């Protein structure tokens, strides 16, 4: 049956916002409405007649409302096949009426968990009847329209108006697909709540909001983003975010969140690696110091700051072609200036990242790990050389380590206490990474004497500290842990260099 005239409906919802127009349309079309509890009262307040579910089933709502609609006369009315003579015969024999439309939503389980409610309150928000009605109606989409969320009320209202209270098979199938999306998401949320304690080795993630991107990493690849992006950002200007934009934005946000709100921090990234990071006396100063580290790579980069972008900074930023600028706020005059380039993406960052896990597809499965949330602090330093680090060097080492943590391995960062001088990124050997950093620093006229060096992993040989010493670098931070640590320590002692171990490796692949 392609087209079905809605003659009867079962309505049982938690949220009643914007339901009234649908009730009015059903009433106008002479639809028999079955309902119970608070929904029944609401429908009757709209002036529509209601057949109580209890009258249909001859059973009251029992167990504190836990069992209301779980009955053969309800589920039989939804599930019997209208084109099957056997089903029709049984429906007649047991006086089971057809139900053509089911409007039901689910108890707010995720919202209750997020509120910090007691476990018993959370358990009571695990919907049984609602989820069963959704699955039943969605399964029998050939005959039944399932409306499973208040988000669909507007679409249903339009559908009923345009088709005079009838539905087509294509309509019902689409709503069925959305229903299974809702039910599977709901079950995943419940499982993940229980699995916080049980720790079953299972992986379930569900994101209901998504959008298709212009393309993936390259134009021949299709790309999508799934997640509530608008919770993190407001986009004030620019073209639609691309796959590569999103990857770089993620890297930029992770890096800038290493810095305290009391610091004026600015970073410039290209292909997820920082090409400039600095702390300044104000935003303009921080930007200029970050830009100074690599004035070539900054072109077309993703920029991020942890302070409001003011006019002084905007005037400097406006001289550079960049893809994205992220900040917690923009002064009005600064925003107007920066919006002068229509494709320039300007994002207001509204909150910090909260995810504790990260995952990606790999081989024929998914790999999952905890996010690296360890930030090396001076209190974690273990001085392993005779020479102690100065207070200024401690600050520089902490700064360099923060940048190093967010740079592709193998990596070396050269820095002062408020400026990255250069980086060596994504190299197959740590020596290559260091040589790349030195060459880059010199190409932008930085003096390395007195600078510090950070490494994301231990030195298996003393070659890196030997090369660093030749360039005048005086302090080093690394996790330690090599069976040949003593070789690097001994060289530092012999050449009056200071070195600290943190005990924490920061590989990033």
Structure tokens at 474: 């005086």
The answer to whether the beta carbons of residues 320 and 287 sit under 8 Å apart is: no
| β partners of residue 357 | 370
- pLDDT digits 0-9 by tens, 308-327: 999 999 999 999 999 999 99
| β partners of residue 288 | none
- pLDDT digits 0-9 by tens, 369-396: 999 999 999 999 999 999 999 999 999 9
- Unique residue bearing structure tokens 């004497």: 449
Which pLDDT score is estimated for 58?
83
Which pLDDT score is estimated for 70?
83
pLDDT reading at 234 higher than 60: yes
- pLDDT digits 0-9 by tens, 159-177: 999 999 999 999 999 999 9
Sign of CA pseudo-dihedral 164, 169, 170, 173? positive
Mean pLDDT, rounded, for 280-285: 98
Distance, CA of 420 to CA of 431 (rounded, Å) = 19
The beta-strand segments (E) located in 116-243 are 145-147, 166-167, 210-212, 224-226, 233-237
- pLDDT digits 0-9 by tens, 340-366: 999 999 999 999 999 999 999 999 999
Distance, CA of 404 to CA of 398 (rounded, Å) = 10
Mean pLDDT, the chain, integer: 95
Which pLDDT score is estimated for 32?
96
pLDDT reading at 1 higher than 70: no
Which pLDDT score is estimated for 62?
79
Kindly state the percentage of the chain with pLDDT values over 70.
Answer: 100
Q: Please list, in sequence order, all residues whose beta carbon lies within 8 angstroms of the beta carbon of residue 52, skipping any fewer than 6 positions away.
A: 34, 35, 36, 40
Higher-confidence residue of 70 and 266: namely 266
Which pLDDT score is estimated for 125?
94
Kindly state the percentage of the chain with pLDDT values over 90.
Answer: 93
**β-strand 264-270 against 357-362: which pairing, if any?**
unpaired
pLDDT reading at 266 higher than 80: yes
Q: Provide the annotated active-site residues.
A: 139, 271
The CA-atom distances, in angstroms, between 90 and each of 73, 99, 251 are: 11, 15, 61
pLDDT reading at 229 higher than 60: yes
The answer to whether the beta carbons of residues 381 and 389 sit under 8 Å apart is: yes
How many Cα atoms within 13 Å fall on the side-chain side of residue 269?
Answer: 30
Distance, CA of 456 to CA of 458 (rounded, Å) = 7
The answer to whether the beta carbons of residues 324 and 343 sit under 8 Å apart is: no
- pLDDT digits 0-9 by tens, 146-158: 999 999 999 999 9
- pLDDT digits 0-9 by tens, 471-490: 999 999 999 999 999 999 99
The CA-atom distances, in angstroms, between 3 and each of 104, 136, 168, 340 are: 22, 19, 4, 52
DSSP summary character for residue 128:
S
Distance, CA of 439 to CA of 432 (rounded, Å) = 10
Which pLDDT score is estimated for 135?
97
pLDDT reading at 21 higher than 60: yes
The beta-strand segments (E) located in 271-344 are 273-280, 301-305, 322-327
């Amino acid at each position: 049956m392609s087209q079905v005239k809605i003659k009867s409906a079962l309505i049982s919802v938690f949220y009643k916002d914007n339901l009234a127009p649908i009730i009015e349309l059903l009433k106008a079309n002479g639809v028999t409405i079955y309902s119970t509890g608070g929904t029944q009262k609401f429908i009757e307040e709209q002036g529509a007649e209601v057949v109580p579910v209890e009258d249909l089933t001859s059973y009251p709502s029992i167990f504190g409302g836990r069992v209301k609609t779980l009955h053969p006369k309800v589920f039989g009315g939804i599930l019997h096949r209208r084109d099957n003579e056997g089903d029709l015969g049984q429906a007649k024999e047991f006086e089971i009426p057809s139900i053509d439309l089911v409007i039901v939503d689910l108890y707010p389980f995720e919202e209750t968990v997020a509120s910090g409610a007691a476990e018993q309150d959370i358990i009571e928000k695990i919907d049984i009847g609602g989820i069963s009605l959704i699955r039943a109606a969605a399964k029998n989409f050939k005959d039944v329209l399932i409306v499973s969320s208040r988000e669909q009320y507007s679409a249903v209202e339009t559908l009923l108006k345009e088709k005079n209270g009838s539905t087509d098979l294509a309509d019902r199938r689409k709503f069925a697909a959305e229903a299974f999306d809702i039910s599977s998401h709901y079950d995943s949320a419940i499982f993940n709540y229980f699995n916080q304690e049980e720790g079953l080795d299972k992986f379930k993630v569900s994101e209901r909001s998504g959008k298709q991107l212009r393309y993936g990493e390259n134009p021949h690849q299709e790309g999508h983003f799934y997640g509530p992006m608008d919770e993190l950002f407001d986009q004030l200007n620019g073209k639609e975010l691309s796959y590569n934009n999103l990857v770089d934005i993620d890297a930029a946000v992770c890096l800038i969140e290493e810095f305290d709100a009391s610091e004026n921090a600015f970073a410039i990234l290209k292909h997820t690696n920082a090409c400039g990071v600095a702390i300044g006396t104000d935003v303009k100063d921080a930007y200029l110091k970050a830009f100074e580290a690599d004035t070539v790579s900054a072109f077309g980069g993703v920029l991020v700051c942890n302070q409001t972008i003011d006019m002084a900074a905007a005037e400097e930023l406006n001289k550079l072609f960049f893809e994205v600028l992220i900040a917690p706020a923009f002064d009005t005059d600064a925003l107007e200036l920066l919006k002068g380039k229509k494709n320039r993406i300007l994002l207001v960052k509204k909150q910090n990242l909260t995810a504790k896990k990260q995952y990606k597809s790999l081989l024929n499965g998914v790999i999952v790990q905890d996010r690296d949330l360890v930030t090396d602090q001076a209190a974690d330093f273990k001085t392993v050389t005779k020479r102690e680090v100065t207070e200024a060097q401690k600050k520089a080492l902490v700064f360099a380590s923060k940048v190093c943590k967010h740079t592709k391995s193998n990596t070396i960062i050269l820095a002062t206490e408020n400026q990255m001088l250069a980086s060596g990124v994504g190299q197959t050997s740590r020596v290559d990474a260091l040589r790349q950093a030195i060459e880059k620093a010199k190409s932008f006229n930085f003096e390395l004497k007195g600078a510090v060096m950070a490494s994301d992993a231990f030195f298996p040989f003393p070659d890196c500290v030997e090369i660093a010493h030749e360039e005048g670098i005086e302090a080093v931070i690394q996790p330690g842990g090599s069976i040949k640590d003593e070789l690097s320590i001994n060289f530092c002692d012999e050449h009056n260099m200071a070195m600290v171990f943190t005990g924490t490796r920061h590989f990033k692949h």
